[in-house]
Chains A and B, each alone.
Chain A
Amino acid sequence: MSAYLIRHYIFTFTVLKNSQKHEKTITAEDATCQPTVSVLIPARNEKQVIGRILQRMTELTYPKDKLQVIVIDDASTDNTGTIADRYSTTHSYIKVVHRNEKEGGRGKGSALNAGLKHAANEIVLCFDADYYPQKDILEKLTKEFDNRKVGAVQGRVTVLNEPQNIVTRLVALERIGGYRVDQKARDSLGLITQFGGTVGGFRRSLLESLGGWDESILAEDTDLTFRVYLAGYKVRYVNDAECYEEAVETWRAYWKQRYRWSKGHMQCAFKHSLGVLRNNNIRLKQKIDGLLLLNVYFMPILVLLSCVIGVPLFFLKSSELLSVLWVSTSISLYSFIGNFAPFFEVGIGAYLDGRTRAQWLIPLLIFTFLYNIPICTKAFLDLLTSKISRRNDNCWTKTVHSGNGNSYIMNQDITLQR
């Protein structure tokens, strides 16, 4: 836990220090090398939002003769496929892949692999159906592939329906900390930048050589991130390549989403930890950061253990060993809460974004941190149970999108308040 404390503060100070350097923002006019791009949009029962992203695809500034948009209608039971078909009939670069009930509904990784088979271009980018990208986002993302060592890119995710309620506001704060500070710092320091599953993508040749997405892992994005680094490539984070998402609006939906992330991340930890340690393509600092990243969802469980073990130990105090254990568990608990580092990370991110009003909600993040304790604990216990019983119960619970984000899209482009 002390390692995470140090890591958070290093990230925060790095971003603060680098914020004084003015980075050139890439626009459509600056793009010199424009590779051909295939955009994959997996969609299962997304009738509320699929039209929005497809309309946005038609508004992108990227040359349409270099663009291919592939919608994977993953066995939808609503009219997602019909809406997508309407766009494909009027725009030749938009293609819809329909999967029936037997093929589809097996998770995002499976849908993306189905789409990958139809991808014909050099770069493959992914967007979730509820996303709303900037018009020039493809130029900003593809620019990074000029460097041959770059295997993947990741853009920034911002919450579209932030004013909806307290859940969306707190999720927005988490996103600020996660992207504006965490991802930015990891990219600046040459650590393990994570591909987040959307608003990003890969070289198609690399993706195919890696075998595409692993359909047995719930966090297929984290899995691919590490496979890219293990193969000797790197992931670049592009902070000004912004895309807007529709965040979860209820605590129940938050639970389901974070449960999937936790369990998936833990699966990746079991799969990749040893590989990260042994691999010669990864430098020492990347190995350390990689291990911390892989095991981050175990931390809330350690906090719970600290409480469960520490409280009775305090009352026992019958031997030196127990006193030592009491001290260590209380320090563990304290370092999670008392280090304040995650809050400061979010706060600095909000400050750099000019989000002065959002800063007032930062203390409320303690509730989301505490809420993640039972989420991560259940995910771990379920994973443990499935490993012991050798049962594959990777149930992909997709996030339901209400389309409420549509009301926040104005006639002009959305820009972040700076």
Chain B
Amino acid sequence: MNGQLVSMIIVFNILFVFLTFPLSGTLKRKLLLLLLGNIIGFSWNYLFSLLAYTTANYFGQFSNTLYIILSPFVNLVWIVSFWSFSLTAIANSKHTKAGSEI
């Protein structure tokens, strides 16, 4: 599970940097969002793995299997949701910057 967490965080960082940093917006905001995303990613996976450990005690191997199968969906929820939120935040910073330049 640690390997999975690390790989998911790496995937998030790569995608976020390549898909968000080229967009118009302040660098400071992008870096803050990147940091926030990592914190959320770690917290999300930590909480989910706690849930997995707990259920494994009661349901055994089945819950472990379920965790592995559902893992992509679970990570999709936080990565895509956070990235959508980031897009909005960056777009707003672009509009704010444009407004202040007028």
Which A residues have a C-beta under 8 Å from some C-beta of B? 12-13, 16-17, 310-311, 314-315, 330, 333-334, 337-338, 340, 343-344, 347-348, 350-351, 354, 356-357, 359-360, 362-363, 366
Contacts and interface: CB of A to CB of B under 8 A. Distances in A.
A308 to B, nearest CB: 12
Contacts, number: 74
Contacts of B68: 314, 330
Q: Tell me what chain A mostly uses at the interface: helix, strand, loop, or mixed.
A: helix
Contacts of A347: 19, 83-84, 87
A315 B65 contact: yes
A354 B65 contact: no
A16 B76 contact: no
Given A340-B79, A362-B84, A348 B19 contact: yes
A288 B83 CA distance: 30
A340 B90 CA distance: 20
Given A314-B65, A338-B76, A12 B19 contact: yes
Contacts of B3: none
Given A311-B69, A363-B80, 14 more contacts: A17-B22, A310-B69, A314-B65, A314-B68, A315-B65, A330-B68, A330-B69, A337-B72, A338-B72, A338-B75, A350-B87, A359-B87, A362-B84, A366-B80
A117 B70 CA distance: 55
Nearest to B62: A315
Interface of B: 11, 15, 18-19, 22-23, 65, 68-69, 72-73, 75-77, 79-81, 83-85, 87-88, 90-92
A228 B84 CA distance: 38
Contacts of B87: 347, 350-351, 356, 359
A359 B84 contact: yes
Given A16-B23, A351-B23, A334 B72 contact: yes
A83 to B, nearest CB: 42
Nearest to A348: B19
A294 to B, nearest CB: 27
Contact of A362 (B19, B65, B69, B80): B80
A314 B67 CA distance: 12
Contacts of B75: 338
A362 to B, nearest CB: 4
14 contacts: A16-B19, A17-B22, A314-B65, A333-B72, A337-B76, A340-B76, A340-B83, A351-B91, A354-B91, A356-B87, A359-B91, A360-B85, A363-B80, A366-B77
B65 A340 contact: no
Contacts of A366: 73, 76-77, 80
B18 A363 contact: no
In the complex, the 10 A-B pairs of residues with the closest C-beta atoms, listed nearest first: A338-B72, A362-B84, A337-B72, A359-B84, A363-B81, A343-B80, A356-B91, A356-B88, A363-B80, A334-B72
